[in-house]
Structure 1
Amino acid sequence: MKAQVILVNELDQETGLMEKMEAHEKGLLHRAFSVFIMNDQGDMLLQQRALDKYHSGGLWTNACCSHPLPGEAVEAAAHRRLSEEMGFDCPLRELFQFTYRTEFDNGLIEHEYDHVWTGTYNGAIQPDPGEVQAYHYLPVNEIFRLLAEVPEQFTSWFRLAFPRVIDQLRV
């Protein structure tokens, strides 16, 4: 069975289900989440998406992101994918939600109602090579510098969410 996403309206109310690739081809708004992980030194975990991902392959982004399965709570999905993609889990808390739309060169469209989660983790990382090309922790100031100098090396949703995540964590 092909993966499905949960279609939503602008209030994140479920309106139906659709096969994931079809939703990305049509650019329909669907529920998603992004997980941002910090370590005790205040550095952020970045992953470089695997080169053969259906979009944004090779770009740097937050620890993980995906879509909840039909009937799955967003928090449960965030824990599931963090474990599947990065090989660890940790306590998470939701920071905010936002909606974005990005068109890619391959014709796909990300139109997501994104729930943004954060957590702290200092242990071993065992990423799935089918999902993650590389990873490392970077100081927040270094990420701001890279975003200013080479924004094209980062995913669209990371560029949008990162400054707000940092603002929320500093409160």
Structure 2
Amino acid sequence: MPSAPPAPRRSAVSQSADELIVLLDEDWNSVGSAPKDQSHHQETPLHLAFTAYAFDEERHFLLTRRALTKSTWPGVWTNSFCGHPLPGESLERAVRRRLTAELGTTAERMDPVLGSVRYRAVMDNGIVENEVGPAVRVCLAQPPDPSPEEIDALRWIPWERVLWEIDNGKTTLSPWSLLTIERLRSLGPDPWAWPVASAHNLPPPLRCPA
């Protein structure tokens, strides 16, 4: 990935030490919850998540580089932001909460475009990411003001350029981004023309949250 200017800095957003993630069985039904900060290790259980892909009106995609202090994939370029819905939390609320925490802004529009993406990836040190959840297309209401706890740098890039860099081995992205982008590619060349995913295609805990 070509170098990018440092991301704008703002005050770090503190994360709750007892934030819970939703644990899932292999049919993606909720089987309980666990503290987020204790759940990512060599035997990370399957849990609920989402990945978000922010675009502007000209189909530029917002790539972000994970903070160097992150416990998983530090310093790796990835999608715009990610998150874990809390128990009983709707997808929209989860996306808005994480958008504010990571990028310091709000959404003008958001739509799930992939109902579920399942992935498992292992870092060199053995830490496992083991998640399933939707991919969400987002239009930001204001420019991003990222939290240094979450994001080290950011880069707006034409969507077509992202695909070209992947095809030609010019970029290294997080494993979940590479997997998800290949599925997004199949939806067509224009991100704003991608159809909205049906609620029935979301993991069960997100279909009818409390």
Alpha-carbon distance, 1:98 to partner:
1.4
Counterpart pick for 1:132 among 141, 151, 155? 151
Q: What is the deviation of 1:105?
A: 1.4
Q: Within the alignment, does 1:4 sit opposite 2:23 as a pair?
A: no
- CA drift of 1:10 comes to 3.3
Partner of 2:133: 114
User: Which one of the candidate residues 91, 98, 104 is aligned to 2:123?
Assistant: 104
RMSD: 1.7
- Structure-2 residue corresponding to 1:18: 34
Correspondence for 1:55: 72
Task: Tell me which protein shows more strand as a share of its residues.
Answer: 1
Corresponding residue of 2:174? 155
User: Residues of 2 paired with 1:29 and 1:92: CA distance?
Assistant: 25
Structure 1 pair 87/21, CA: closer, same or farther in 2 (3 Å)?
closer
1:54–1:162 Cα change, 3 Å: same
Runs of 4+ residues deviating >6 angstroms = none
Deviations 1:24-74 (A, max 9, x none): 222211000111011011110111110110111111111110111222122
TM-score norm. by structure 1 comes to 0.90
**Residue matched to 2:102:** 85
Please give the alpha-carbon distance, in whole angstroms, between the structure 2 residues aligned to 1:51 and 1:147.
23
Shift of 1:21: 4.2
Q: Of 94, 112, 116, which aligns to 1:94?
A: 112
What is the rounded CA distance, in whole Å, between the counterparts of 2:82 and 2:186 in structure 1? Answer: 20
1:43 maps to what in 2? Answer: 60
SS of the residue aligned with 2:126? Answer: coil
Q: Distance in 1 between matches of 2:136 and 2:125?
A: 28
TM-score (norm: length of structure 2): 0.75
% identical aligned pairs: 28
Letter in structure 2 aligned against 1:23: S
Count of paired positions: 170
- Aligned residues of 2:48 and 2:84 also touching (Cα < 8 A): yes
Q: Distance in 2 between matches of 1:80 and 1:34?
A: 13
1:144 corresponds in structure 2 to 163
After superposition, give the CA deviation of every residue in 1:76-96 in whole Å (9 maximum; x if it has no partner). 111110111011111211111
Bigger drift between 133-142 and 7-16 goes to 7-16
Structure 1 stretches lacking a partner, 5+ long? none
Quick check: 1:86–1:127 contact (8 Å CA) kept in 2? Answer: yes
For structure 2, list consecutive stretches of 5 or more residues without a partner in the other structure.
1-16, 195-210
Structure with bigger gyration radius = 2
8 A contact 1:34–1:117 mirrored in 2: yes
- Farther off after superposition, 22-31 or 95-104: 22-31
